[in-house]
Each structure stands twice: as structure tokens, then as C-alpha cells.
């Protein structure tokens, strides 16, 4: 039987594909999303002393002509020497070469202000230590650069214009081949990084913003336009927030935001109208990426809009240091003025990369069109470079996709594993694809693939119950009240309990049959202190002291899950505060199964 026909049949399909009914977990299993509140609690944007250093006081003139490079450098140095503060770019257009940030500096581009970068390559010399497509070397300085700094910010609401089309950078694209081959060969040969020198006379163009080996980073409310290469590129950095940023790019290799070998990253509320991938998680390339060996991990991507091109939510292809614990939720794909996204979810690697991709979780990604496909996991992505390097088969495993809604695409689902390293453990659930060219999922060299309640062009792949929502405001409340003074809740409000141990909320829920159910509690905790609760079903505690960590603010909602046995008919589910801080704010309870 042909694979496509076989996949349409009920039950277990070839190639490790299960068309599932109700999805159940062992009683001890937790949702991977339970990790998100703890990740968000660790991501704390930097703050800065109330001191302002106006660049015009250091010689800058906003006439779109004067070279303001020295003024930026002096203002940043003065701000750092004073113990930190804000370097202010007031209204006007300021031409500049490279900007190197120091610790405790917030570069603030005011409303009506534009930082426009110079178009001569010499303004980005001398070379700096950098990564170029995942390989360490010395090259042209990124337009905005920091190395080894702490507490660094770039904020708006003004504009930073890379002005790349006016410079030589896109002309480099057709000339970079020999330099790119040479850099890859140096990495293969183990040439010390200090001897991998490019820059003047070579053709490897620079990134727009690269913050290398930094901690406590904030990029917020700024408009970024016209980069020469990747727009926002934190490398080997920790505690990174990219919030409410708009990115506009055209040309080749002009990704939106590329966290590489970074930990604890939040990308939220951004708009990506890009000529390449929107948000793309990386961790070094091939031999050099494995030599450095630092993964990207604990990354949250939420509430962003993607207008093209290539992948919206993307991993790779430079992922040789590993990628784990990526959570993308509530993102949107929209038709852009110039492009459409190629893929909604795109995970790409090949047999020279090595590394492990473990734990990519996407939910509530909606929109279209996607010009090449919906979900594409490709372990046979293109090979480049002299000799390609040694084979080091990567591992790709533990991918969950829920609530993916794509309209208008050539295919819905394609999993293309390696014959010697299969993709492992992919669950796609509660997803809908319409106007799809090739409807049947295309799956090869993949094991443990589960489709549950996936509908493609009206055909259902895998059944399964949908969650039933019970609002907290309709439950029985002890020592608390219904409130609506924080945004983001469902229904008509949420429950805010008194700060006392023993306060609780109790729902009455129904089950058509006895069996295992998943209980998902949606909550907010705007403090930095966890608010644990006992979760009891029918009077028996099934999860004692269940953690409900801080979510970053009272307007930020997260979820925690518990699996429990329900009896046929009516059941009670009670969440009881175990500390004097009381319960977190409780929005609703979603019950799935039995």
C-alpha cells in the first residue's frame, strides 16, 4: 500500500506513525510547557541609573551628513565611566560608523530620531572577534557590537537604519565564495581563531546587532531597518529580552532575530518583515560549533507577527552546539507586502552538523499563506564548504506542535529524517490545515510520530478529545474574589485569592467515562516567589505542593498541568494555597479526557 493511502487509515501506520485517539500520559508525566514559568522568572531585563548622556553634547549633529561615530563613542564611554545610564539619541538623523556598547549603557533612540549607518566598509574596521554563519573568526565589526558586557540595552521608539543597500554589502554576496570556503576549511583544519582574519579585502558582510558573550540584554520598542546580514544576533549570551521590536529587511541572509548558543531568551511582541528567517535559533556550525559546544536553550518566542520570508519559527541549520527547550506560542503568520513565509515551523540540519535538537514546542501558531510548506523537519538540508567536514549525524527528537493552523500551502507536514539518525518523538495535535496541495503527511525516517485531531483539507488524521474549559469565576471560591484588573484572561475575569494558606478554588467537572485526564490550570503570578498549591480530585490530593512559579507580571499567563484519574460523571478539582502568599491568580481549568 502507498504510504499516503496507508496514513489515511485508522490505527498504527508504517514508519512509526500513530494516528491516535485520546492521548494519555503516565500519572507522573508533566507537560514540557510547565518549564516556561521558571524560564520567564529568570529573564529579567536590566535597569539603568537615571543619568542621561545626550550624543549632541559630545559633538553629534542630526543632519544626516556629519560623521557622528566619535560622538557615539564618547557618550558611551562617559555613560559607562559614570556608572551607567542612558545614551540619548534625540530627534534628527545621525550618520555613524560602528557603535560599540559598554556595560550599564542603554542606547535610547528617541521618537523622531534615526541612527543611519555609513555606507563605507572602512567604518567597520578594525576587525572584531565574531561568529560568521556559526564559525568563529575576526571580521568587520557588526554595526552595533558588544563583547563581554553586562546590562546592555537598545531601546526606542526611534529607528536604526543599517542603510545596507547604499554600501558594498550586497555586492559581497556573489564574491564571498572563496572567503567562505577558506573560513570553513580553517575550522576543519583547527586553525586558531586568532589566525582566521577577514575584513578589509574580503567579502564576509557584517551583522547589524551582535551582542557577544553578554548578560542582561534588552532590545525594546525600536524600529530596525535595512541590515546587511542577520539583524539581531546575540551570541553566547544570557538573560536576553527582545520585545516590541519591528524588523524590516530585504536581500540575502537578513534574518530577523538569531539567538545563537544563548540561554534564557524571550522574544515577544515583535514584527518580522524579513527577507530570510524570522526567528531562528542557532548554536554554531559543524566542527567549530561542536568545538565551542554551547547549546541554545530555554527560549520563549511568543506573540510575534511574521510577514515572510523562509521560516517563521526556525531552528538551524547552524545547530551543532545543540538546541533544547524552545517554546513558541501565540504567534501569527501574515501575508507581507513583498513576501510570504515559506514555512510555519522549519527545523533544518544535515549529517555534517552533529549536535542534538531536543525539545521544540510550538502551540497556537496561525495564519498563512506559507509558500513551501507548513511544518518541515529536514535532516537533509544543503551541504556547503570544501570537503564538507566529517560526518557527525545530528539527533532531532521530542517535538510537539499543537494548535497549528495554516491556510494555503503546498504541504501540511513533512518529516525528512536521516536514514542513520531518525527523527524521534513528534506529536502533532489539534491542528488544522486548509487549501493544502499535498494533503497526506509526508514522513520518512521518523519514529514515534503521533497525529491526534489533525485535520488536513477536511480529512481527520487521528481522533481525540478536545479540552473542556471551566472558568475560575464560575467555580466555588474560598477566601477570594473575581477580578478583571489584569489583561489576558479568558471568560469574564479571574480569581484573586486572599494571601493566606488554605484559600482555594474548586471546580465541578464532568467526565463521560472513567479514566486518565489532563488538568491544565492557567494562572498568573506577578511576583518572583512561587505560589504552590495542592491539587485535589474528589477530595484526594493528586499533586502536593504543585509549583506555580512567577510569570514575570500579573498580565502574563502561564499554565501548569497535572494528570489524574476521573470517575464517570461529576468530579471536583480543588486548587488550595499551601503558603501564606495564597494562590496565584487563576483564570481557568482545561480538562482533556478521559
| Ordered alpha helix ranges (H), 399-531 | none
Please state, in angstroms and rounded to a whole number, the distance separating the CA atoms of residues 274 and 327. Answer: 21
Q: Which CATH number fits domain 466-592: 3.40.50.1000, 3.30.390.50, 2.60.120.260, 1.10.630.10?
A: 2.60.120.260
The whole-number average pLDDT for the span 426-433 is: 92
Residue corresponding to grid cell 536590566: 46
Distances (CA, A) of 400 to 17, 157, 186, 548, 593: 14, 36, 37, 22, 19
The whole-number average pLDDT for the span 273-298 is: 97
DSSP string, 444-480: ESEEEEEEEEEEETTEEES--PPPEEEEGGGSEEESE
CATH 3.60.10.10 given to domain 42-222: no
How many C-alpha atoms does 589 have within 13 Å on its Cβ side?
26
Q: What is the pLDDT of residue 20?
A: 56
Q: What is the pLDDT of residue 594?
A: 76
The band of 13, judged by pLDDT with boundaries at 50, 70 and 90, is very low
CATH of domain 255-464: 2.160.20.10
Minimum mean pLDDT range among 341-355, 419-433, 557-571: 557-571
Q: What is the pLDDT of residue 360?
A: 98
Comparing 564 with 230, the larger pLDDT belongs to 230
Is there a common fold for 255-464 and 466-592? Answer: no
The band of 22, judged by pLDDT with boundaries at 50, 70 and 90, is very low
Comparing 416 with 463, the larger pLDDT belongs to 416
Residues with Cβ within 8 Å of residue 45, at least 6 apart in sequence: 153, 216, 218, 220, 241, 243
Q: Has residue 270 got a pLDDT over 70?
A: yes
Q: Is 353 helix (H, G, I), strand (E, B) or coil?
A: coil
The whole-number average pLDDT for the span 526-546 is: 95
Q: Is the dihedral of CA 350, 355, 359, 362 positive or negative?
A: negative
Q: So where are the chain's domains? A: 42-222, 255-464, 466-592
Write out pLDDT tens, residues 453-499: 898 998 888 866 678 999 999 999 999 999 999 998 999 999 999 99
Q: Has residue 356 got a pLDDT over 90?
A: yes
260 CB neighbour count, 10 Å cutoff: 28
Write out pLDDT tens, residues 119-135: 999 999 999 999 999 99
Q: What is the pLDDT of residue 17?
A: 62
pTM value is: 0.79
Three cell numbers written together for 84? 551607567
Angle at 52 between CA 46 and CA 58, to 5 degrees: 125
Minimum mean pLDDT range among 178-187, 334-343, 459-468: 459-468
Mean pLDDT for the chain overall: 92
Q: Has residue 9 got a pLDDT over 90?
A: no
Q: Has residue 430 got a pLDDT over 90?
A: no
The band of 26, judged by pLDDT with boundaries at 50, 70 and 90, is very low
Minimum mean pLDDT range among 16-25, 92-101, 507-516, 550-559: 16-25
24 CB neighbour count, 10 Å cutoff: 16
Percentage with pLDDT > 90 across the chain: 85
Amino acid at each position: 500500500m502507498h504510504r499516503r493511502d496507508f496514513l489515511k487509515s485508522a490505527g498504527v501506520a508504517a514508519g512509526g506513525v500513530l494516528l491516535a485517539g485520546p492521548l494519555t500520559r503516565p500519572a507522573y508525566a508533566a507537560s514540557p510547557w510547565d518549564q516556561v514559568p521558571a524560564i520567564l522568572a529568570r529573564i529579567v531585563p536590566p535597569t539603568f541609573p537615571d543619568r542621561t548622556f545626550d550624543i549632541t553634547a559630545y559633538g553629534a549633529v542630526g543632519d544626516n551628513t556629519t560623521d557622528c561615530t566619535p560622538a557615539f563613542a564618547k557618550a558611551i564611554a562617559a555613560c559607562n565611566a559614570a556608572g551607567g545610564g542612558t545614551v540619548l539619541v534625540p530627534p534628527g538623523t545621525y550618520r555613524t560608523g560602528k557603535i560599540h556598547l559598554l556595560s550599564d549603557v542603554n542606547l535610547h533612540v528617541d521618537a523622531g530620531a534615526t541612527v543611519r549607518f555609513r555606507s563605507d566598509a572602512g567604518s567597520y574596521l578594525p576587525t572584531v572577534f565574531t561568529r560568521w554563519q556559526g564559525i568563529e573568526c575576526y571580521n568587520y565589526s557588526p554595526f552595533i557590537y558588544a563583547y563581554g558586557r553586562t546590562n546592555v540595552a537598545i531601546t526606542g521608539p526611534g529607528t536604526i537604519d543599517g542603510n545596507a543597500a547604499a554600501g558594498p554589502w550586497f555586492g559581497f554576496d556573489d564574491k564571498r565564495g572563496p572567503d567562505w570556503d577558506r573560513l570553513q576549511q580553517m575550522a576543519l583544519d583547527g586553525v586558531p581563531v586568532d589566525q582566521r582574519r577577514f575584513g578589509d579585502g574580503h567579502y564576509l558582510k557584517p551583522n547589524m546587532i551582535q551582542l557577544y558573550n553578554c548578560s542582561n540584554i534588552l532590545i525594546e520598542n525600536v524600529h530596525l531597518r535595512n541590515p546587511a546580514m542577520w539583524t539581531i544576533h546575540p551570541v553566547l549570551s544570557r538573560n536576553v529580552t527582545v520585545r516590541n521590536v519591528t524588523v524590516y529587511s530585504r536581500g540575502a541572509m537578513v534574518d530577523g532575530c538569531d539567538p545563537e548558543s544563548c540561554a534564557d531568551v524571550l522574544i515577544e511582541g515583535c514584527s518580522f518583515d524579513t527577507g530570510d528567517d524570522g526567528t531562528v535559533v542557532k548554536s554554531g556550525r559543524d566542527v567549530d560549533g561542536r568545538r565551542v559546544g554551547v547549546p541554545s536553550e530555554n527560549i520563549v518566542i511568543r506573540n510575534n507577527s511574521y510577514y515572510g520570508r523562509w521560516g517563521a519559527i526556525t531552528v538551524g541549520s547552524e545547530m551543532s552546539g545543540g538546541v533544547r527547550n524552545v517554546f513558541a506560542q501565540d504567534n501569527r503568520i501574515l501575508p507581507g507586502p513583498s513576501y510570504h513565509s515559506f514555512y510555519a515551523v522549519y527545523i533544518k540540519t544535515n549529517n555534517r552538523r552533529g549536535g542534538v535538537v531536543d525539545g521544540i514546542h510550538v502551540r497556537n501558531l496561525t495564519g498563512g499563506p506559507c509558500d513551501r510548506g507548513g511544518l518541515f523537519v529536514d535532516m537533509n538540508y544543503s551541504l556547503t564548504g570544501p570537503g564538507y567536514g566529517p560526518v557527525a549525524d545530528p539527533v532531532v527528537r521530542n517535538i510537539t506542535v499543537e494548535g497549528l493552523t495554516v491556510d494555503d500551502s503546498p504541504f501540511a507536514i513533512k518529516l525528512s529524517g536521516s536514514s542513520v539518525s531518525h527523527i524521534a518523538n513528534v506529536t502533532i495535535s489539534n491542528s488544522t490545515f486548509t487549501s493544502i496541495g499535498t494533503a497526506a503527511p509526508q514522513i520518512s525516517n521518523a519514529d514515534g510520530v503521533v497525529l491526534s485531531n489533525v485535520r488536513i483539507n477536511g480529512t481527520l488524521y487521528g481522533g481525540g478529545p478536545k479540552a473542556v474549559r471551566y472558568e475560575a469565576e464560575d467555580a466555588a471560591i474560598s477566601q477570594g474574589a473575581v477580578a478583571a484588573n489584569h489583561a489576558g484572561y479568558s471568560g469574564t475575569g479571574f480569581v484573586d485569592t486572599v494571601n493566606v494558606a488554605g484559600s482555594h478554588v474548586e471546580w465541578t467537572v464532568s467526565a463521560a467515562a472513567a479514566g486518565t485526564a489532563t488538568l491544565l490550570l492557567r494562572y498568573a503570578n506577578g511576583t518572583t516567589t512561587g505560589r504552590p498549591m495542592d491539587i485535589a480530585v474528589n477530595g484526594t490530593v493528586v499533586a502536593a505542593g504543585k509549583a506555580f512559579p512567577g510569570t514575570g507580571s500579573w498580565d502574563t499567563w502561564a499554565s501548569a498541568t497535572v494528570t489524574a484519574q476521573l470517575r464517570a460523571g461529576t468530579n471536583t478539582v480543588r486548587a488550595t494555597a499551601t503558603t501564606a502568599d495564597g494562590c496565584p491568580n487563576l483564570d481557568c481549568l482545561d480538562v482533556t479526557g478521559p
